[in-house]
Structure 1
C-alpha cells in the first residue's frame, strides 16, 4: 500500500455544534452581511441579511421547533431545493440538537418512504404542495411522523408565531449541550446500486473540512479586503451542497441561493449576484462550456471561439509546467495571442459568470484535464477536489501555487489517503462518518481500523497528487478478460457538444460499447446549422448520416486516449436521455448503471449483434483513430 499523510490540521478544533458559528459571528460582527435573498426568482436585486438578523431568525424558528416538541436527537427531514429557508431551518434544527435528514425533492415516493422510515423521522419540511402529496401518500407507513411543514405555505412563519412564548434560555440551553461528536446529519447515499444507506455525520465531521479549507484556502474566495460571495445552486440534499453552506456560514462569506438549475435561471442569478467564487460539478462546467460554444457559433464566431479555447488550454498548460518547475512558461507569441483573446473573448466569458469569479471548485466527480485547462486559460482557475458522503465532503484539494490539472490534488491537512493493493482509495481523518444508520454490517464492510474503504479507484503520482480513475463496482470485464474503467471514456465523450450522457458497457461482451444520449439544445442548434437541401425524406437521411459521423468522430477522439483493448468499438445513440423519473439516474443525477443495463438490454443486444452486420465507410478522422473496423452506427 502507498500511504500519504500531510501536515496536522491548521484549524482550531470544534468545541460545540454547527449552530454555534451563527451566534459567534453575530456577536463578533453583527452588521456583516451573511445571507442574500430575492423577493422572487426574477428579481435582479438581492436583499442582504446581516449576521444579527440571521441569528434572530434562527432563534425564532428554534423556539417554534421546541414548541412543536422537537427535541435533541429527533430526526427531521428537509425535502426542498436550495433556498434561503433551507439554511435557516437547518441551523434552527442544529440549534435545538435535532438531526437533519436531507431528502432530494425529486425523489420518488418509494425513496421518500424508505428514507423517512429508515431514519425514523418525526417531522418533514417540504417545499410545495407536490412534496406534501408525496409525503402524505406514505404517512400510513410512518407512525412516528408527527408534522409535515410546507415552506411555500408559510409553515416557518407559523412555527415562529407558535414559539413566541418559549424563553430564549430554553433554546440556549439546548444549543450548549450539543457536542462535536453529536449527530448533525443523516445523509443518504445516492443509491446508484441498491438501497440508499444513511451516513451518520457528526458536527465535528461536517465542520472539519470546512474549517481546514477556510484556514488554508479561504483567502482565495475574494480579492484582498473584499468579502467573498458564493452562489449556492447545488442541492443541499447532498453533502457537497451542505459543505458549501457550511463554508459560507463558518467563514463569513455572503451566501446566495438559486433553487433553479436551468440554464436561464442560473445564468440570470450569476449575473445579478456576481459571485467571487464558484462551486460546481463537472456537468455544470461542461454545460457552461457548451453554452459558450453554442452562443459563439450562433453569432458566427464559432471558429474564433475554438481558436481562443485552444489558446487558453495551451497557455494554461504552459503556466502549469512553469509553476511545477518543468518549463519556462508561456512563450512570447503565446502570451501575445492570449492577451488578444483576453480582450476579445475571455473577458466576455467571465462576464457570463458574473464578471468577478477568478477561482472555483469542482466536485462530485472528476473534472477532465482539458476542461480544467480551458477555465484556467480564460482566467478562472478550477480546483478539482475529491470527497464523498461518507467523508462529510472534502478529502483533497489542490495546493496553492502547485495546482495540477487532471488530478484532485493532495489530502487536506489532517487527512490521510492510502491506496490498497487493488488501487482502492482508503481515507482516514476527522471528517470520516460514524457509520451507516441502523446497518452495522454495512458499516463494518467499509470501516476497517479507522480507515474508510471508499470504493473509488485511484493512483498517486510521485509528488503525492491523487487521480481518480473510477469506481470498483463500475469496472467492466470483457469476455476476453480485459478490465476497463469507464469513467475516463465517458468523460471524454461528454466533452463533445452534441453528447449529453454516455454509458460505457461491455461486461462479458467481446469488446467495449457505449450508449449515448444527445444534448437537446445543442442538437437543435446543430440541425439548424446544417442547412440541408432536398425534400423531407432526403434531408432526414442526410441529417442522420451527418449525425452518425459527428458522434463517430467523438467516439474516435475518446478512443485515442486509451489502448486498443479499452477502446469503444460499438455504440448506439438513444432517442431519449436517462432521467430520474425512469429510475436511470439518482436524485443527484448520477448514472444507475445496473438499471440502465437492464432497461437498455434490447438495445445493447442489438448493438453487439449488428457488430458483424452491415458496415458503412469510415471518415478519414475515424480511420486514423479507430483500431477496429467493427463500429456500429445504429
Structure 2
C-alpha cells in the first residue's frame, strides 16, 4: 500500500514518459532507489542504464544523455564546479549567455558537456543544496527540483515541480500528505505512505510515529504558500555562547559548494562564533591549480593524489598555502551573508 500510494502521488506531479532514458546509480537498499528503479521504471517503461560506480555517473550521463536525472547535492556540486570553471574562464561563453540570439547555442554546448542535453528535469534530495547551483541549472534550462522525504515515509513527502518551484525550499507536500511543524520546530508527516513501524522494535516505533504523525527529527518551517524549508537536524543543533541555536548541516552543505572544498565540518557549541574545518578537493586542485586537462583527471581520490605527486606537488603545498586560505576565505565571506551571526 505504501508503494502504490507513493508511486501514484509522485506521478501526479512528476511526468515520466515511456522510452525515456534514466541513469540508475542509487543503491537498491535506498528507498528512493527502489521507488525509481523498481517501481517507476517498470510502470512507465523507462530505459534504465545502470552505473557500475557512482564515480562514473557523469561519464554515463554523457553517453546516455538521460531525460531524467536523480542525484544528491555532492554530484551537482561537482557538475556546478565544472560548469562554473568553463563559464568563468571563457569570456565568449559568459557574454554569449547574456545575448538572446546566442544564449541557446552556448546553453546547448554546456548541457552537452555534462550529458544533460536531453534532460527535461533533474531531482535532488538527501541533504541541503546551495541555491546558486539550482539557479545555474535553471539558467541553462535544466530544472533541478529539490525534494524531501525519508525511508519512514517511503521516499517523497514534499517536492518542487514544474509550475511550483521555489528555490531555497524542498517544495510542497504531495497530494494526500499532511505536513506540520511541532512546537519545537520538528517536521511532522502524516499520510498513507508513512510506515507502520520499525521491524521488531516497538520502542523506536512509539518514539517516531505518534498518533499517525511521523516525527522526522528534522527542523523546518512552512511559508505562507505552503513551501517547506529544512533548517537542520534536531539532534545536531547546538547552542552558541550567545544562546543562539545553530544547525550545522545547512551551513556545512553550503560551504561544500566552494570549488576547492571537498568536505566541511562545523564546530561552535558554546563558542562565540562557528569554526569550519575544510578538506580540499584534489580534483579541483589538479584542474585549476596544476592545469591538468579535465579528461585526464582520475575520479578516484588516491589516483588524484598520485597524479599530483607526478606533477611535483604534495597536498600540503596547497593546505599550507596562504593563497589557498585567502581564496577559500573570500568564498566563505560571500556565503556567510546568508547566515545570521551567532
Tell whether the structures are fold-level matches, with TM greater than 0.5: yes
Provide the rounded CA distance (Å) in 2 between the counterparts of 1:390 and 1:489: 25
Unaligned runs of 5+ residues in structure 2 are 292-312
- Pair 1:548-2:340 in alignment: no
Match for residue 109 of structure 2? 348
> CA 1:307–1:455 in structure 2 vs 1: closer, same or farther (change >3 Å)?
farther
CA contact (8 A) 2:261 2:281 kept: yes
- Pair 1:252-2:50 in alignment: no
CA contact (8 A) 1:490 1:504 kept: yes
Match for residue 213 of structure 1? 10
Match for residue 505 of structure 1? 267
Match for residue 290 of structure 1? 81
> CA 1:510–1:543 in structure 2 vs 1: closer, same or farther (change >3 Å)?
closer
- Pair 1:479-2:241 in alignment: yes
- Pair 1:468-2:230 in alignment: yes
Shift of 1:459: 0.8
Provide the rounded CA distance (Å) in 1 between the counterparts of 2:319 and 2:70: 41
Of the three residues 68, 83, 87, the one matched with 1:277 is: 68
> CA 1:484–1:307 in structure 2 vs 1: closer, same or farther (change >3 Å)?
farther
Unaligned runs of 5+ residues in structure 1 are 1-203, 312-335, 530-535, 566-634
Provide the rounded CA distance (Å) in 2 between the counterparts of 1:373 and 1:279: 17
Provide the rounded CA distance (Å) in 1 between the counterparts of 2:271 and 2:68: 45
Shift of 1:558: 2.0
- Indicate the SS of the match to 2:290: helix
Q: What do residues 163-191 of structure 1 show as CA deviations (whole Å, max 9, x unaligned)?
A: xxxxxxxxxxxxxxxxxxxxxxxxxxxxx
Shift of 1:379: 1.1
Shift of 1:354: 4.6
CA contact (8 A) 2:280 2:319 kept: no
Provide the rounded CA distance (Å) in 1 between the counterparts of 2:255 and 2:203: 38
Q: What do residues 25-49 of structure 1 show as CA deviations (whole Å, max 9, x unaligned)?
A: xxxxxxxxxxxxxxxxxxxxxxxxx
CA contact (8 A) 1:480 1:510 kept: yes
Shift of 1:338: 4.8
Of the three residues 31, 34, 37, the one matched with 1:242 is: 34
Provide the rounded CA distance (Å) in 2 between the counterparts of 1:562 and 1:370: 15
Moved more, 374-383 or 348-357: 348-357
- Indicate the SS of the match to 1:428: strand
Larger radius of gyration: 1
Match for residue 452 of structure 1? 214
Alignment of structure 1 residues 515-554 onto 2, 5 Å:
515-528=277-290, 540=317, 544-554=321-331
Q: What do residues 399-429 of structure 1 show as CA deviations (whole Å, max 9, x unaligned)?
A: 5313211111110101110111121100001
- Indicate the SS of the match to 1:488: helix
- Indicate the SS of the match to 1:206: helix
- Indicate the SS of the match to 2:156: strand
Q: What do residues 103-123 of structure 1 show as CA deviations (whole Å, max 9, x unaligned)?
A: xxxxxxxxxxxxxxxxxxxxx
> CA 1:471–1:543 in structure 2 vs 1: closer, same or farther (change >3 Å)?
closer
- Pair 1:407-2:199 in alignment: no
Of the three residues 55, 59, 72, the one matched with 1:268 is: 59
Provide the rounded CA distance (Å) in 2 between the counterparts of 1:471 and 1:306: 38
Provide the rounded CA distance (Å) in 1 between the counterparts of 2:122 and 2:100: 21
> CA 1:347–1:541 in structure 2 vs 1: closer, same or farther (change >3 Å)?
closer
- Pair 1:390-2:161 in alignment: no
Provide the rounded CA distance (Å) in 1 between the counterparts of 2:263 and 2:317: 23
Structure 1 stretches (4+) deviating beyond 6 angstroms? none
- Indicate the SS of the match to 1:464: coil
CA contact (8 A) 1:294 1:525 kept: no
- Indicate the SS of the match to 1:557: helix
TM-score (norm 2): 0.86
> CA 1:400–1:542 in structure 2 vs 1: closer, same or farther (change >3 Å)?
closer
Provide the rounded CA distance (Å) in 2 between the counterparts of 1:266 and 1:407: 26
Supply the RMSD in Å over aligned alpha carbons: 2.6
CA contact (8 A) 1:419 1:459 kept: yes
- Pair 1:381-2:143 in alignment: yes
Provide the rounded CA distance (Å) in 2 between the counterparts of 1:526 and 1:272: 25
- Pair 1:561-2:338 in alignment: yes
Alignment of structure 1 residues 111-150 onto 2, 5 Å:
none
Shift of 1:480: 2.9
Provide the rounded CA distance (Å) in 1 between the counterparts of 2:330 and 2:223: 31
Provide the rounded CA distance (Å) in 2 between the counterparts of 1:288 and 1:422: 37
CA contact (8 A) 1:282 1:365 kept: yes
CA contact (8 A) 2:187 2:216 kept: yes
TM-score (norm 1): 0.48
Shift of 1:307: 6.2
> CA 1:256–1:515 in structure 2 vs 1: closer, same or farther (change >3 Å)?
same
- Indicate the SS of the match to 2:54: coil
